[in-house]
């Protein structure tokens, strides 16, 4: 049988740069690290795409 806590929606994990980490557990810190690593990968992918687009445009206009 489910408890009341199981029925509540889970709070979405978010992280604020510079936030106090004192009250977070090891599990919460690991979740935040995973979240931030995924965000870093997403940002690097976006940067790679923008760089490729910029390089293609520069190559086209130099020809």
pLDDT tens, residue by residue, 8-33? 777 777 888 899 999 999 999 999 99
Chain mean pLDDT for the chain: 87
> Per the confidence metrics, is the pTM higher than 0.85?
no
What is the Cα–Cα distance from 5 to 12, expressed in whole angstroms? 15
Res. 39: pLDDT tops 90: yes
Residue 59: exposure state from Cβ atoms within 10 A (0-12, 13-18, ≥19): exposed
Res. 42: pLDDT tops 90: yes
Q: What does the domain layout of the chain look like in residue ranges?
A: 29-63
Question: What pLDDT is stored for residue 62 in this prediction?
Answer: 81
């Amino acid at each position: 049988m489910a408890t009341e806590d199981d029925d509540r929606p889970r709070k979405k994990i978010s992280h604020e740069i510079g936030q106090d980490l004192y009250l977070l557990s090891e599990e919460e810190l690991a979740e935040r690290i995973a979240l931030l690593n995924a965000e870093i990968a997403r940002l690097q992918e976006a940067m790679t795409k923008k760089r490729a687009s910029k390089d293609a445009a520069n190559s086209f206009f130099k020809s």
